[in-house]
Structure 1
Amino acid sequence: MELITYGTRSQHSSRFTLEPGQELVLGRSPEADISITWDDRISRNHALLKVQPKQLSVSRLSSTENQIFLAGIALDDFLLEPGSTFVIGSTTFQLLDSASSFSSPRESPLEEVTFKPNELMKVRYRDADQRIDVLAHLPELILDARNDSDLFHRLVTMLLSGVKHADAVAVVRLNDEDRVEVPFWERRRQTQGGFHPSGRLVLEAVKKSKRSVLHVWAAKEEKEDQEDYTAVAEFDWAFCTPIEEGINGRWGLYVAGELNQPYQVSVPQGAGGIDLQADVKFTELVASIVKSVRRLNQLERQQAGLRQFFAPPILAAIGDNLNTEILEPRECDVTVLFCDLRGFSQHAESSSEDLIGLLGRVSQALGIMTSHILDFGGVTGDFQGDAALGFWGWPFSSELAPLDACRAALAIRNAFEQIKLQPDHPLSDFRMGIGIAHGRAVAGKIGTSDQVKVTVFGPVVNLASRLEGLTKHLRVPVLMDEATAQIVRTKLHREEGRVRKLARILPYGMEKPVVVSELLPPESIAETLTDQEVTCYEMAVEHFIQGQWEEAFRLLHAIPPSDRAQDFLALQITRTNRIAPLDWDGTIRFDSK
């Protein structure tokens, strides 16, 4: 069971789950089991609640001043049935049995009307101004609802205002076992007792016809002559209008009332009586607006979530109807970018007393990485602690994928270099390394039956990660494999970026050597190598690979001392007195990651 609370303001609503055997204190104190802090008419400890299997025992504590009202009567002790309410001060408490099920009346309705699409279009309202005024507040009502319970409460109250002949309104749900559940209901006069919707009517409207269905049992004078008239059919008429189907069941709006005269399907314009067709039309309009606004909210939430992973062009392709078939995994050519923070372990140790602060700084750094990945049309595939993974070439293949990955890498590099110039910046002591690789992979929704994420899988991902790790050894910020480097050399404009071949290496755990290159900013950027110096360095690399280490060492001396990459190559040369080993094959082998 559940206890729902409602105050005078929309934010004054709460939902408490009740389990049989519990004893709970209700009061205004924050320490109370059921805390109602907004109502000063409720004492700090006002009542003791004892949860029974199908009832709730309510006892007012002797220290309280204000009464507890059940159906308008002040009581100190009473048993509350599911569906009933009690009031303290300006707060209403309603007990709900979320697993309630109601059987249909024993007798068939005198008349059943199933309303076909557009059948009610010509029906005119005799109180149009009042109904329009109610509808005008409906979108705001839905958007302001904090949760489903709050929404149900608002909807039921609004329908009672808009359907003036209705005596009871409920939000109903048909679960997977075709049992009728009533998350919320309300009667115009609470003193009239409980409320039991017709399961037969709900089943017909929500599951079978999926249209508004009206049942009429009898008018009041006819009903008085029927000795076996059932309690379930306590109303003369009721109709149910489907709202929508969702993962939690099939929903509908249930409206019921009484007739003061024999029933007419359609009341002529200007005649007395109840025009049920107009009431059904109004309720269908409410259901349509509810469905549309909830669908819009759902789309906005989904789009906001997807926006963290996909660039705008991909979101546009997925469309407003979220055609996720495009996200199914498939093999394709991708360019993978792996970006990692430098010195994270050291920061974690030094910030052990402020891990939340460290998390905030890391999140800010990851935000820089992902924003540039998205800016250049990439997909954010994963986070691994202090590292971010981005990839291009999926869900749409593109010859520009390697170029866009490199543009993103250069933008990330530039962002961190600018931050380094600001000593007071929270990220000024962070450094980053980036590895980029191009090749075949499987990309899309990857995971288990319980959890999936959009990411990329294959050797190219491992290679990008290894290249990122090698940036520490080769002492450069961005490393590329040969496949990416060849594309960049021929297609990336030199005013955007350049390539510098660094070495042929065999990363730890891999079987095939890889020619690695550095992605450099354009020559126009301050404190970067000139084109002539890049050419000189690459000549040194070729001599190094061919075993001509003396010449390679000489060429390295023409490179500015500020360039750290030459330190790595010079170290390899000087280890053997500038003489290549007899078994030299041009490959530098790493015995660790």
Structure 2
Amino acid sequence: MADLIAQGTDPHHRWRHRLPEDQEIVLGRQGNYWSVPWDSHISATHASLCWQAGRLNVSQLFETRNPIFFRGRKEQQFQIGIGEHFVIGTTTFTLADEKLLLSINEPLPDTEKTFSAQDLQALQYRNADQQIDVLSELPKIISSAGSDDDLFGQLVNLLLQGIPRARGVALVAADPATTTVTTNSPEAIQIMHWDSRSGSPSDIKPSQRLIWQATNTQKSIAYVWAGRRGENQPTLTASEDLDWAFCTPVNSPACPGWAIYVEGNFEHQSSLSSETFHPQALRDEMKFTELIASSLGNSRHLENLKRTQAVFGQFFPTVVLDALSTQDPEQYLAPQEVDLAILFCDVRGFSRSSELASDDLLGLLERISQALGVMTQNILAQGGVVGDFHGDAAMGFWGWPASQSDRSERACLAALSIREAFNTAANDPTHPLHDFHVGIGIASGPAVAGKLGSADQVKVTAFGPVVNLAARLEAMTKVVGASILIDETTLAALQGSSSKTPEMRFRQVAKVQPFGLQNALQVTELLPSLSDEDQLSQSDLAAYEEARKQFQDGSWEEAQQLLQQLSDQDPVKPFLLDYLKTQGPTVPAEWNGTIVMKTK
């Protein structure tokens, strides 16, 4: 990787940016990462740059007026290598690829001083005007940075502006897993960004010992060496130039091991007392740096919170996100036994689509993602929590972390919306979900919900027999032929609800003992309201109900006759007819009205 250094006539008019590989960037005065706002000779978009194969390709854009000079001549298109430069207006652009090395075996400082963040915050600036002017740029830098490289580069440049006697600045990250300050492994400390007055790494040699001390103690620490570092000056006097350095940690969980390292020197001034060369003399610079470190930590922490909320937003409804912003997440999301409504939804047609799309698996994955998106959007829209994904299936639940008295109704409304979305897609041959349909199972009852799992892997989900029952009902939709099946508890909650939602209709399908479960239950199909001629009419449902009663009572011959009279458009009709054909015509002596499922 290489850096491009821009330097104007004013020492403060400069930046150092990392060049991305094989990516075109535009150099100009417009307000972006590569802008040169101080030079009026540079157009809003002046040159196109691209770093490729160890060379920087430079092309002047057609709309510009002022030329680009390379090797003293006007050039519109050229390449430069490491160490070379070009000039636009009064700004020189230099290509550099110089790595900053840590100083490992250096002399101990003659003077050392430690400052806590509270110490620095309590200090008053002695000459505040310059620092305040520079700090006024900080909010704009943080809010406008388009990437970490952008942010780091602008912060380092800001530090060089605000600390005139600094020779160089580095933003570093020490490995939090390494706690010893005596390690000689330079890989344990990463230089995330650096710059110096001259652009040369010879101006700054970050002290590994100082960085470890600051990051381990989480305090700002300053060193002063008598004379230039490495010259082994025996005493601290006011008659020699003195090197100094300090390191300020970024105290934020979002920036583990991060710190700002600043290095410079006290130039010889014989009229000044030795106190001028004490670390205490750096308190303005350290306070300034601590403010930038604090702002950096806070901004990173805020970004992490935004990302976390965005992730949570895929699983939690708005009401839960609002509660999480004001309560302790550990307590709010703690596992607890509550009454839940559980919804399992599975995509049908996936296996067939996999075979047909074997040469476009990424396209198939995109379609499955869209299908899962339909499920999660409708779960969240009804105030549910997205609990888990199982391949091409999703699970949602209601009743946690906040209690919901209408949890069963919400689950059923979500199921009907999902069903409608897939039915709409099925009627459009151009829709990505055209050949998909769904099976949904809903069960209500007590379960444990919350952050569940081991120390290695934690997820928010629900656990208990009612979860297994909802999964069994979803699987049963394949055999029964219904899109949505609900259990007895869910049906009772809906029938006892004061809202009596008109968009729901119910049909008791059969008494069934699901595979792998001990208890039988009356399985009910959930249907939307009668809104078009393609739906089963109320008389169709009444006819099926009479056939079901005859079937469960053991009057199989009468049940079969009634079922055969039903519309062939009824998708559930074959379920009982097939059972009668395979198990009849004689009713078993042990018949108790229950169909025992032999498979999931």
TM bin (shorter chain): 0.7 to 0.9
Corresponding residue to 2:111 among 109, 126, 146: 109
In 2, Cα distance between equivalents of 1:437 and 1:311: 20
In the TM superposition, what are the counterparts of 1:53-452 in structure 2 within 5 Å?
Answer: 68-69=82-83, 90-96=94-100, 100=102, 102=104, 105-109=107-111, 116=119, 118-121=121-124, 123-127=126-130, 130-132=133-135, 134-135=137-138, 137-140=140-143, 143-146=145-148, 151-175=151-175, 176-179=178-181, 181=189, 183=191, 184-190=193-199, 193=202, 195-198=204-207, 201-202=210-211, 205-208=214-217, 210-217=218-225, 226-227=233-234, 235-246=242-253, 249-260=256-267, 261=269, 262=272, 276-319=282-325, 323-452=329-458
Gaps (5+ residues) in structure 2?
Answer: 7-15, 23-49, 60-77, 86-91, 182-187
The equivalent residue for 1:468 is: 474
Bigger CA drift: 390-399 or 431-440? 390-399
Bigger CA drift: 529-538 or 507-516? 529-538
Instruction: Give TM-score, length-normalised by structure 1.
Output: 0.76
In 1, Cα distance between equivalents of 2:360 and 2:422: 23
Task: State the SS of the aligned residue for 1:545.
Answer: helix
Gaps (5+ residues) in structure 1?
Answer: 16-27, 42-63, 73-87, 268-273
Task: State the SS of the aligned residue for 1:368.
Answer: helix
Which amino acid letter does the alignment assign opposite residue 258 of structure 1?
Answer: N
**Partner deviation per Cα, 1:453-495 (whole Å, 9 max, x = no partner):** 3223333333222211211221111011222222122226241
In 1, Cα distance between equivalents of 2:512 and 2:205: 77
**Partner deviation per Cα, 1:402-459 (whole Å, 9 max, x = no partner):** 2111111010011111222222222222211111122333333334433333223333
Bigger CA drift: 393-402 or 358-367? 393-402
Paired residues in the alignment total 522
In 2, Cα distance between equivalents of 1:107 and 1:7: 32
The equivalent residue for 2:46 is: none
Report the CA distance shift for 1:389/1:316 in structure 2 as closer, same or farther (over 3 A): same
8 Å contact from structure 2 (residues 170, 261) kept in 1: yes
The equivalent residue for 1:541 is: 548
8 Å contact from structure 1 (residues 170, 182) kept in 2: no
Instruction: Give TM-score, length-normalised by structure 2.
Output: 0.75
The equivalent residue for 2:591 is: 584
The equivalent residue for 1:77 is: none
In 2, Cα distance between equivalents of 1:321 and 1:173: 31
Which amino acid letter does the alignment assign opposite residue 147 of structure 2?
Answer: A
Task: State the SS of the aligned residue for 2:431.
Answer: coil
**What is the root-mean-square deviation of aligned Cα atoms in Å?**
3.9
Pairwise CA distance, 1:570: 3.1
Which amino acid letter does the alignment assign opposite residue 126 of structure 1?
Answer: D
Task: State the SS of the aligned residue for 1:389.
Answer: strand
Task: State the SS of the aligned residue for 1:303.
Answer: helix
Report the CA distance shift for 1:128/1:342 in structure 2 as closer, same or farther (over 3 A): closer
Report the CA distance shift for 1:36/1:480 in structure 2 as closer, same or farther (over 3 A): farther
In 2, Cα distance between equivalents of 1:96 and 1:169: 11
**Partner deviation per Cα, 1:44-97 (whole Å, 9 max, x = no partner):** xxxxxxxxxxxxxxxxxxxx9966549x9xxxxxxxxxxxxxxx9843213256
Report the CA distance shift for 1:428/1:259 in structure 2 as closer, same or farther (over 3 A): same
**Partner deviation per Cα, 1:344-371 (whole Å, 9 max, x = no partner):** 2112112222222222222211111111
Corresponding residue to 1:506 among 486, 501, 513: 513
Percentage identity across paired residues of the two chains: 37
8 Å contact from structure 2 (residues 342, 444) kept in 1: yes
In 1, Cα distance between equivalents of 2:402 and 2:262: 50
Pairwise CA distance, 1:379: 1.7
In 2, Cα distance between equivalents of 1:488 and 1:368: 24
In 2, Cα distance between equivalents of 1:265 and 1:531: 96
Pairwise CA distance, 1:526: 4.8
In 2, Cα distance between equivalents of 1:424 and 1:515: 39
Pairwise CA distance, 1:577: 6.1
8 Å contact from structure 2 (residues 551, 559) kept in 1: yes
Task: State the SS of the aligned residue for 1:415.
Answer: helix
In 2, Cα distance between equivalents of 1:300 and 1:112: 34
